[in-house]
Structure 1
Amino acid sequence: MARPVTNAAFEGLLLAAGYSNAHAAFARQLNHAGRNEGAWRYDAASVYWWLRGRRPGEHVQAAMAETLARKLGRSVAVTELGFGAADSIGVCVYPASVDGAIDTAEQIWTRLARHLNQHASGMFDSGKALEAALGWRYDLPDDTVSRSGRQQVTSTDVQSLYALAEHFTDLDRRHGSGGPRTRAVMADFLVRQVAPMLRGTYTDAVGRDLMRAAATLSGQLAFMSYDAGDQALAQHHVTLGLRLAKAADDRLYGAHLLANPATQAVFLGHAREAAQLVEAAIDGAGHAPAAVLARLHATAATAYGHSGERRACQLALAKAERALGRAGTDSGPRWVNYFSPAHLAGAALRCLGDLHLYSQALRHAAAALALDSQNVRTRALHTALIAVTHARAGDTDAACDWGRKFTQHAVGIQSARVQQRVRELTTTLRPQHASPQVNEVLHTLAAKPAAM
């Protein structure tokens, strides 16, 4: 069933110009008008999504106005097109084409760079997340991503993007993303450097690698936005990353990216949708390397645990453990190297605790803290989870001991997720506030700054 049109102004202009039933013809004229920008490949599907909420880049809107003005015999202002202000992020839609993905990238990166200090952009939409998963999984692959634009892009240029992505990842793990500084630097870099590269000149091979690098950066920014508590912006970036991974023909990284909104959905209480997202990721990954499968099945266990599906949770945990045991000989891509036995132990601690299997959960406590030194935020999150699990199991003394350790580990970390663990621990301990040691821990937690 076709979606209803939401941009009546654009629809009216198409009707007046004779394009109401000739969307493909309009797209061809638009491609011709924008020939100086490179090899545009807009089609009738692009027009369909523009009519239903997706906002093209400003340069595309200028070409649209030019195309319509030529047919109407009068000037057409960009403001007449009905796409709204440039600062609006628009509807979270999985881009139908590579050109659409490039437009979306420019739009949301620009918005982030301009308005990073504003309040969060909205709520997570689980329906849109599932739509993006279906698009990534079942849409036809892109025949080619080669372009002819203003800037020559080489393999060396693309490799520099991977190096910078690792740098941003390291900063995030050490300090969290609740503060705007790291995201501000990253957003500025994406607008000034990566967006022009996407509109440059490159072969299909270089283009696929460029799309993969851009997907990596967008995925990292999605995770950072999620950690900062900006759920809608995180969803926009992961949806963009999925489309770029599709263009790169990299199903493994796409599956990895799709597991991130599943984790986000668990955090926000959408357990059933989280399970559906990670199931799509596992299905799309196919015969993946063991380390990738370990990460995906661990995420599935977390989703099942949160929804109370004990058998499915324990089965997913067992699959994750077996896969991680094979990872030494089947390690997979470089980006999955972060996933260690400690990360799996943290997932086990979380999902078994959600199932009220506290003794089983706490058997994983020591392993969950066997982290590399750069995983500062994860250490804080796992420490808080151990404290919460002890508290829920009725061991107030142990909960207070771990609560004190958590406050030490959380110093200097700016993260909405860490703050959520503070609230969980506070809520769990509060009924015992008459105890002097509980009261002490509660006061210590309350004294921590909001951007811990």
Structure 2
Amino acid sequence: MNISPKEPNSILRHLIGESGWTLEEFARAVNALGRGQGIPLRYDRTSVAHWLTGSRPRPPVPDVVAQVLSRRLGRLIRAQDTDLLSVVVDPTDATPLTQASLIEDPVLRLLALCRLELAPSGCAVIAAHAFRLQEAAVPPPREGAPSGGSRVSSQPSARPAGGNVLPMVGRARVAHAALLERMLSSYADLDEEFGGGRARTSLATCLADVAVPLLASTAPPALHDRIRSLSAQLALVLASMHADSRAEGAAQIYQNAALHLSAHSADPATPALALQAMSSQASRLGHDWYALGLAARAVGATDEYAASAVRGLAFQRRAVAHALVGQYDAASEDISSAREILRQDPYSAHPLIPASAAAFHESAARVHEVAGDTRRAVKAWLASIDHRAQPLQRSGVLAHASLAGLMIRTGHVQAAYPHVRAFAARHHDFESARVHEARVRLVEQLRPFRSHAAARFMLQHLEPAEMFGGNGTSAPTTAASNAVGG
């Protein structure tokens, strides 16, 4: 249902005119971006014409439109800049997920998000939420807290005005923090090992039933600070699971929840990790300048108290973001900084960064690839794969897919075979939209070469029934085997 004001939308008309698109092209771009974020949209030129005459679509469509225009015009355009939002805000226009994300208290916000996630209609609500271009700022430290690594955490306000909202467990103990640490390690491993769709509901349950009660408990400042940081990092894992399922709007909301929850702790790592995740997401969605701004904030959020793995990753993320906007000298400087951090502390680790060296080489590969240096990109991708203790977890499988895609695009189809084979060996094991999309890309890249035996053999690994008909399980011919190295 649309809300129809009286005035035509001259602002949107101007923006579409500036884009150079026809109304039909604009509608197709909106539909495509929505599909990429798990939001099925089916607009056409008539729909856009209705918007121009004054009708306003329900959320999340205005946010999708803003993203499309931002990518096309190369500057930040928010939903309110399109004049597609109602002048008088109707509370029914805000989705339950949006309403939960607007709760000011970070602990109450996290509880509301998790409860929504676990509700019977939670999946549909979450899938309908769009990513939003917005200002992402670290909230100011609480009143009276010193800046820097010497911040001291305050006790939580467990009972806000209006009654007993949060569950209480009494006094938190060191063992409770150890429990959160084990949960963080376990769920981060599950996300990597099986994809974001496998344990998302389980993690939301643990956050609601374990982390939130501990956040509402009394504890010595240092212990409460630790619980706050660990809870925020668990929220980041849940955000990663949503992003891996292409629920980008939900991922963004959990990233913001983690950022706000960790802003009052003494740990400099968690805000930096949240900003890095936000920047990576923005890059994936094609918002390159927006991603660079977030990456710069991630670097600024780290200090000498942050683990080397976190500091190094911040510089790596900014390097990739610099490369994506064509600032190759700045990207090279950031890669050099990250390399020096890794050299000084090669064994630094973090539950959310299990392989620091592999992450560094992957970032270097992306920078070289964007810069057009294929030889160095291939070398860096190989180093990234070699530095992974478990190369067939999701990040390793995706690294194989990225390297194979690079080789195929540059005409080295036969050289891509071992990496396609490594990817094909595990891609069915993941409940992951990113892994599925990587398979689709590889198939699309290989199809123009299907006259080559090596390409046919790789396609048989990736799509046996589709490519060859029947069960597609016949053994490859000797010629095909020889073409790909046996």
Note the C-alpha offset of 1:241.
0.4
The corresponding residue for 1:120 is 127
Equivalence for 1:243 = 260
Q: Return 5+ residue gaps in structure 2 as ranges.
A: 1-58, 60-89, 146-153, 160-167, 467-486
Structure 2 CA distance for aligned equivalents of residues 92 and 142 of structure 1? 28
C-alpha distance 445-308 of structure 1, shift in aligned 2 (>3 A):
farther
Of 168, 174, 177, the residue aligned with 2:187 is 168
Q: Which amino acid letter does the alignment assign opposite residue 132 of structure 2?
A: D
Shift of 1:141: 5.7
Partners of 2:440 and 2:393 in 1: how far apart?
19
**Residue 375 to residue 316, structure 1, CA distance change in 2 (3 Å):** farther
Question: Within the alignment, does 1:107 sit opposite 2:126 as a pair?
Answer: no
- Paired with 1:328 and 1:257, the residues of 2 have a C-alpha distance of 23
Q: Give the C-alpha shift of residue 447 in structure 1.
A: 4.7
Deviation, 1:305, is 2.7
Report deviation, 1:286.
2.9
Distance 1:207 1:109, change over 3 A: same
Q: 1:344 aligns with which of 360, 371, 374?
A: 360
Q: CA deviation at 1:399?
A: 2.5
- The residue aligned with 1:30 is none
Q: 1:107 to 1:297 in 2, by over 3 A?
A: same
Give 1:183's aligned residue.
200
Q: 1:357 to 1:252 in 2, by over 3 A?
A: same
Which residue identity is paired with 2:98? Answer: G
Q: Does 1:292 align with 2:297?
A: no
Deviations 1:210-245 (A, max 9, x none): 211211211111111111211111111110001111
| Structure 1 residues 146 and 111: alpha-carbon distance in aligned structure 2, compared to 1, 3 A threshold | closer
User: For residues 85 and 163 of structure 1, what CA distance do their matches in structure 2 show?
Assistant: 40
1:135 and 2:138 correspond: yes
2:98 aligned counterpart, secondary structure: coil
* Structure holding more helix per residue: 1
**Post-superposition shift, 1:95?**
6.0
Deviations 1:238-260 (A, max 9, x none): 10001111122322221122101
Q: For 2:353 and 2:92, locate their aligned partners in 1 and report how far apart those are by CA, in whole Å.
A: 42
Q: CA deviation at 1:83?
A: 5.6
User: Which residue in the other structure is 1:381 paired with?
Assistant: 398
Q: 2:383 aligns with which of 363, 367, 370?
A: 367
Q: Counterparts of 1:61-100 in structure 2 under 5 Å?
A: 88-90=96-98, 96=104, 100=105
Q: TM-score, normalised by structure 2?
A: 0.67
Q: How does 1:280-429 map to 2 (within 5 A)?
A: 280-287=297-304, 288-328=306-346, 331=348, 334-335=350-351, 338-370=354-386, 371-373=388-390, 376-429=393-446
Q: Which residue of 2 aligns with 1:46?
A: none
Q: CA deviation at 1:384?
A: 0.5
CA distance in 1, matches of 2:301, 2:235: 20
Question: Contact 2:100/2:112 (CA < 8 Å) preserved in 1?
Answer: no
TM-score by length of 1: 0.71
Distance 1:238 1:276, change over 3 A: same
- 3-state SS in 2 of match to 1:363: helix
Q: Is the 8 A contact 1:387 1:402 kept in 2?
A: yes
- Higher alpha-carbon deviation: 306-315 or 222-231: 306-315
Gaps of 5+ in 1: 1-52, 54-81
Q: Which amino acid letter does the alignment assign opposite residue 172 of structure 2?
A: T
* Residue 94 (structure 1) shift: 7.1
Note the C-alpha offset of 1:145. 3.0
Shift of 1:298: 1.3
Partner amino acid, structure 2, of 1:101: P
CA distance in 2, matches of 1:242, 1:265: 16
Match of 1:275 among 276, 292, 307: 292
Q: How far, CA to CA, are the matches of 2:363 and 2:258 in structure 1?
A: 24
Code of the residue aligned with 2:365 in structure 1: it is L
CA distance in 1, matches of 2:132, 2:331: 24
Quote the Cα distance in structure 2 between the aligned partners of 1:448 and 1:297: 44
Aligned partner (choices 447, 455, 460) of residue 430 of structure 1: 447
1:11 corresponds in structure 2 to none
Specify whether residues 109 and 395 from structure 1 end up closer, same or farther in structure 2 by C-alpha distance, changes over 3 A only: same
1:377 Cα deviation after fit? 0.9
SS at structure 1 position matched to 2:138: helix
CA 1:308–1:407 in structure 2 vs 1: closer, same or farther (change >3 Å)?
Answer: farther
Name which of 212, 219, 229 aligns with 2:229. 212
Structure 2 CA distance for aligned equivalents of residues 201 and 182 of structure 1: 29
**1:367 CA displacement:** 1.4
- Deviation, 1:387, is 0.3
Aligned length: 358
Q: Which residue of 2 aligns with 1:66?
A: none
The answer (yes or no) to whether the contact 2:312–2:341 under 8 Å persists in 1 is yes
- Alignment check: 8 A CA contact 2:156 2:217 kept: no
1:297 CA displacement: 1.3
Shift of 1:355: 2.1
Partner-residue secondary structure (3-state), 1:90: helix
Which AA in structure 2 matches 1:102? Answer: V
> What is the aligned counterpart of 2:155 among 145, 160, 168?
145
Sequence identity (%): 21
CA shift in 2, pair 1:334/1:355, >3 Å: closer
CA pair 204-290 structure 1, distance change in 2 beyond 3 A: closer
Question: Is 1:384–1:403's contact at 8 Å kept on the other side of the alignment?
Answer: yes
What do residues 311-337 of structure 1 show as CA deviations (whole Å, max 9, x unaligned)?
2222222211111111148x3x74465
CA distance in 2, matches of 1:171, 1:422: 21
Classify 1:238/1:389 alpha carbon distance in 2 versus 1 (closer, same or farther; 3 Å): same
- Matched to 2:372, the amino acid is H
